[in-house]
Structures are given as structure tokens and as C-alpha cells.
């Protein structure tokens, strides 16, 4: 959040009550959609370099194989990141921290937020510094990215309904001696509980996680206890070698009733906590931040009306609700050891998994869902389109509020890609033209200064780009800073776009 606001020149402070970054690996999976956003920030390569690409996931049910998924054969050709990236949260935070420092912003540690209050003209935060001094800060807006026990959420009066799961989890960062390859994501489910192994790069250790029924203990498990429980669930013999982290924790699933209260916002775990099924948590929080940051920046820079901020809750609240529903159902089915859920899983999974993976199209849909590439804001009030003259592909392939896909294109001098055009915090108008001149109605000057305009000509080298965007001859797409389609037209008339900008952003011609 701080990085994206700083990139637009917004004055801000970011405070954290912890004296230093955690040394625990915690959030471990970075999905394709998040990596696309990290690419826009210029740090995706750094993350990929320190992470472990997993192109292979194997699942077992009561020690029998039920799923063998190769991510390099899923048909996800519109993203540069067709894999799961396993990277420790320690590395993720280190890279983002360094990126923020390069932008001239330093996290203030340890500074605790004691109280926040909304007001008509500003919001107020009371901060406590390490020497005991308190400070009252006035700000235009306050964003609570402060986790499950969010102070901002509490003082904003937002509810956080849900409950704890009956199971408990054990975590370990340890080396596993078994026959499976180190880069394999292994998921072992069954009537004794779950056991999962996530690969980590550049070290012999992996992240191990297992579930079991809670008996009220509070002490961290011993290595011997972890070995015993893992052996009960593993499909092959294994030995867990020295662990550098062993932990026990409980899980909750909870969500706020809304993401905004006046000048106070929440994002990430402050808005939604849930099971780790699918590795969705951190990735969803990053998308929350990206969605809100560009809208806040536009309002603060007087490039859009303040009503644009209403679309943050409008767009992200349904995503959070879907996330809670999906992770709860997946958790309940996967982690059950008895009862109807376990029976359904044991009967259906061996039948459904082979069918799901048999066709590349189904494998691709599964990957797109898990990797959050399929998230869309089709019902948002701040997206739109002009279908005048549209063909079948334009109408049915993409839509306003959909993620803009990557595609190769030739700019007349060198090979490039659509994503290479989207590397800053502007909106981008991509004009697809089969004409000698792109013919867009109105001179370039009528567009607001925060829109960058590029033209892709219809040539043999650009066929894939035209096809992927559903353009036969001419058309255009306005792509938001978070990589979603704000508006599109099936011709070269920009007047509908200008009317959209006036209606949705309050940004008229000129």
C-alpha cells in the first residue's frame, strides 16, 4: 500500500509496532496474479530469484495417489508466471522493505497505533513511540493493514464475524528425507489428518504443516511428536531431520461487514482471515492494497472524485466473501477425519481429480482460479464498454472489469509484450488499429494526463494480441493501474470513453 502511494507522490507514514521484521516464513505461496502486480512494481524478478518455482503438485488420499498436476502443461499462456512460487514471507518482506526504502519511505518501528478516529475533514491516529511518548497525527485517510487483531478495524466499528476451527495445526521448517523430489508440493489427506510439504529454495529445509484434532495443549510440538504424526499420514517412509522452527496454532475464518468506514479503510488480514487452503491470504491482501492505492492516489491528486473510493468496498468485499466461502469449504473437506465431509471426500476425490486434470482446459481453469487470474469486477460501477460494431470474440472473450491478459506484440522495431506497456502507475489506453493512422476520434490532448496511450498495429506479428483481446479490425482498452479493464470500445471512437471518464471518475475532456 505504501509503495503504490509513494509511487504517485503521495505523502504518507507507515508505522509498525513490531521492532523488526519477523524471521518466520509464514505466508509461503505467491500466485501468478500477485507476481504480475509485483512485476509492475519492478520486484517480480527479485522474488522469483529467491523463490522456488513449483511446476508439480501431487496429492494423496489415505496414502494413495489421487492427483498429479504439472503446472507447465496447463495452457496458461497469457501470464509470464504459469507456476506457484514458494517464497518465505521473510524474503517477501525484505524485498518490499528495500523497494520502499528506494522510494524514500522508511517504516517507523516500533510505533504502535493506540487509537484512530474518523472525522469530517480528516482522520486522527494516536501513536505511541518506544520512549513512551504519544503523538497525535491528522491524516486525510488511514488504512489498517494491521492484521487479525486490527486496531483500525476495532475503532472503525467494523464487525469481524466468524469462528475458530476445531482442528489445530503444527508447522515446521525442517529437512525431509524421503523419495519425493524437493520441488514437489505434496498434499497428503486422509482419515488421520492432513500433512503437507512446501518446497523452499536455496536451502535443504521445506515448510511442513499437519493438522490434527485439538486437545487444548499450548506448548509447541517436539520434533519427535512431529515425526510421529507425519509418519501416520505420509504415503512413503520419511525422516524429519533437525527443524529450525516448530509451532502450534489455531485457525479462524472471519470477515468484516465492509472494508470502509468514512476515512478509515481495512485491507488484508484486517478484513479477512481464513484457512491456508489454496495459499490465498497474502495474495488477496496484496490485491486489496493495489485496488485501493491507485484510487486513493487519484482522489488525493484531484484526478478523480472522492466517490471513486466507494468502489474499493464494492469490488473487494465480494472477493473477500468468495475467499472465505472457498477456503472454508476446501478446509472442511480436506481436513475432516470423520463424518459426512470425510465420506464425501474419500468417495469423490479419487473420481473427480482424474476427470479434472484430464483436459488441459479444465487444468487451466483450476490454475486460473487458484492463482487469482480469474478474479473480475464485472458488476463494478466504475467499469464500462462500448460494443458498437462488436464481433462475437469481443463480446464473449473479455469484458470490463476483467484482468487484462498479457500478449506478445511487435512495436515496429522490436518484440515486446502488452505487460511491458503497463509498468507504471498510469492508466493505459491500448488502441488496436488496422488503419494506417489509428483514427481515434479526438486529439490526444483531450485525454487526462494520467492516461498513457499506445497503438498496436494489425500485423502478422501482432495477431496473437488482437486475438487475445477479441479485436478483429479496430478497438481499444483502457487498463487500470491494477491491471484490470476499466473501459473498452469495439471501434476507434473515443467519445464513449470520455463520457465514461466524466461519469465514473469525474474527469472530463481536457
Sequence ranges of the domains in the chain: 2-161+254-370, 384-504
Joined together, the cell numbers standing for residue 47 give 522474488
- CATH number of the domain at 384-504, out of 3.40.30.120, 3.40.50.170, 3.30.360.10, 3.90.180.10? 3.40.30.120
pLDDT per residue rounded down to tens, the chain (510 residues): 999 999 999 999 999 999 998 877 678 899 999 999 999 999 999 999 999 887 688 999 999 999 888 776 676 889 999 888 889 888 999 999 999 999 999 999 999 999 999 999 999 999 999 999 999 999 999 999 999 999 999 999 999 999 888 888 899 989 999 999 888 889 999 998 999 998 887 667 888 999 888 777 778 999 999 999 999 999 999 999 888 889 998 888 999 999 999 999 999 999 999 888 778 899 999 999 999 999 999 999 999 999 999 999 999 999 999 988 988 888 888 888 888 888 989 998 898 888 877 788 888 888 898 899 999 999 999 999 999 999 999 999 999 999 999 999 998 888 999 999 998 889 999 999 998 766 565 555 588 999 999 999 999 999 999 999 999 999 999 999 999 999 999 999 999 999 999 999 987 544
Task: Report DSSP state, residue 222.
Answer: P
- Phi, psi values for residue 227, rounded to 5°: -60, -45
* pTM for the predicted model, two decimal places: 0.92
Q: Answer for the pair 446, 510: CB distance below 8 angstroms, yes or no.
A: yes
CA–CA separation, 240 and 177 (whole Å): 6
**Contacts with 399 (C-beta within 8 Å, 6 or more apart), sequence order:** 376, 378, 385, 485, 488
The fold of the 2-161+254-370 domain, in CATH, is FAD/NAD(P)-binding domain (3.50.50)
Q: How many CB atoms lie within 10 A of CB 177?
A: 10
Specify whether the CB–CB gap between 179 and 236 falls below 8 A.
yes
Where on the phi/psi map is residue 28: left (φ > 0), alpha (ψ -120 to 50), or beta? alpha
By three-state DSSP, how is residue 43 classified? coil
Name the helix (H) or strand (E) containing 428.
strand 427-433
d(CA 314, CA 296): 15
| Paired strand residues for 252 | 164
Contact 256, 387 (CB under 8 A): no
Spell out the alpha helix ranges (H) of 25-64. 32-41, 44-50
Amino acid at each position: 500500500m505504501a509503495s503504490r502511494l509513494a509511487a504517485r507522490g503521495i505523502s504518507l507514514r507507515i508505522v509498525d509496532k513490531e521492532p523488526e521484521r519477523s524471521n518466520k516464513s509464514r505466508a509461503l505461496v505467491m500466485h501468478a496474479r500477485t507476481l504480475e502486480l509485483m512485476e509492475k512494481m519492478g520486484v517480480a524478478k527479485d522474488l522469483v530469484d529467491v523463490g522456488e518455482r513449483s511446476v508439480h503438485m501431487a496429492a494423496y488420499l489415505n496414502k494413495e495417489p489421487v492427483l498429479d498436476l504439472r503446472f507447465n502443461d496447463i495452457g496458461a499462456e497469457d501470464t509470464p508466471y504459469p507456476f506457484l512460487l514458494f517464497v518465505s514471507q521473510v524474503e517477501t518482506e525484505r524485498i518490499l522493505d528495500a523497494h520502499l526504502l528506494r522510494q524514500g519511505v522508511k517504516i517507523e518501528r516500533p510505533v504502535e497505533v493506540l487509537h484512530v478516529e474518523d472525522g469530517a475533514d480528516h482522520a486522527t491516529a494516536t501513536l505511541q513511540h518506544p520512549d513512551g511518548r504519544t503523538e497525535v497525527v491528522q491524516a486525510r485517510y488511514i488504512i489498517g493493514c494491521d492484521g487479525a487483531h486490527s486496531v483500525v478495524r476495532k475503532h472503525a466499528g467494523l464487525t469481524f464475524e466468524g469462528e475458530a476451527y476445531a482442528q489445530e495445526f503444527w508447522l515446521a521448517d525442517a529437512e525431509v528425507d524421503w523419495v519425493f523430489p524437493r520441488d514437489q508440493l505434496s498434499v497428503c489427506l486422509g482419515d488421520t489428518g492432513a500433512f503437507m510439504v512446501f518446497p523452499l529454495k536455496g536451502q535443504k529445509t521445506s515448510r511442513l504443516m499437519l493438522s490434527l484434532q485439538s486437545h487444548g495443549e499450548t506448548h509447541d510440538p517436539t520434533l519427535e511428536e512431529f515425526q510421529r504424526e507425519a509418519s501416520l499420514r505420509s504415503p512413503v517412509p520419511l525422516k524429519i531431520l533437525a527443524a529450525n522452527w516448530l509451532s502450534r496454532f489455531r485457525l479462524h475464518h472471519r470477515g468484516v461487514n465492509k472494508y470502509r468506514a468514512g476515512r478509515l479503510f481495512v485491507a488484508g488480514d484486517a478484513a479477512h482471515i481464513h484457512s491456508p487452503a489454496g495459499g490465498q491470504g497474502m495474495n488477496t491482501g496484496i490485491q486489496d492494497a493495489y485496488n485501493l492505492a491507485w484510487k486513493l492516489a487519484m482522489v488525493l491528486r484531484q484526478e478523480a472524485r472522492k466517490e471513486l473510493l466507494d468502489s474499493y468496498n464494492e469490488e473487494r468485499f465480494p472477493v473477500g466473501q468468495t475467499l472465505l466461502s472457498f477456503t472454508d469449504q476446501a478446509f472442511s473437506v480436506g481436513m475432516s477425519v470423520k463424518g459426512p465431509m470425510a465420506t464425501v471426500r474419500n468417495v469423490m476425490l479419487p473420481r473427480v481429480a482424474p476427470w479434472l486434470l484430464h483436459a488441459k482446459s479444465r487444468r487451466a481453469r483450476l490454475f486460473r482460479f487458484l492463482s487469482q487470474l480469474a478474479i473480475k469486477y464485472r458488476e463494478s460501477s466504475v467499469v464500462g464498454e462500448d460494443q458498437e460494431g462488436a464481433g462475437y470474440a469481443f463480446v464473449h472473450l473479455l469484458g470490463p472489469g476483467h484482468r487484462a491478459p498479457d500478449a506478445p506484440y511487435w512495436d515496429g522495431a522490436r518484440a515486446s509484450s502488452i505487460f511491458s506497456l503497463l509498468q507504471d502507475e498510469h492508466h493505459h489506453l491500448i488502441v488496436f488499429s488496422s488503419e494506417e493512422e489509428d483514427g481515434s476520434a479526438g486529439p490526444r490532448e483531450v485525454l487526462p494526463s494520467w492516461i498513457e496511450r499506445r497503438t498496436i498495429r494489425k500485423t502478422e506479428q501482432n495477431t496473437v494480441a488482437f486475438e487475445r483481446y477479441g479485436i478483429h479490425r479496430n478497438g481499444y482498452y483502457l487498463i487500470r493501474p491494477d491491471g484490470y479493464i476499466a473501459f473498452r470500445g469495439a471501434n476507434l471512437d473515443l467519445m464513449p470513453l470520455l463520457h465514461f471518464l466524466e461519469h465514473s471518475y469525474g474527469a472530463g475532456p481536457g
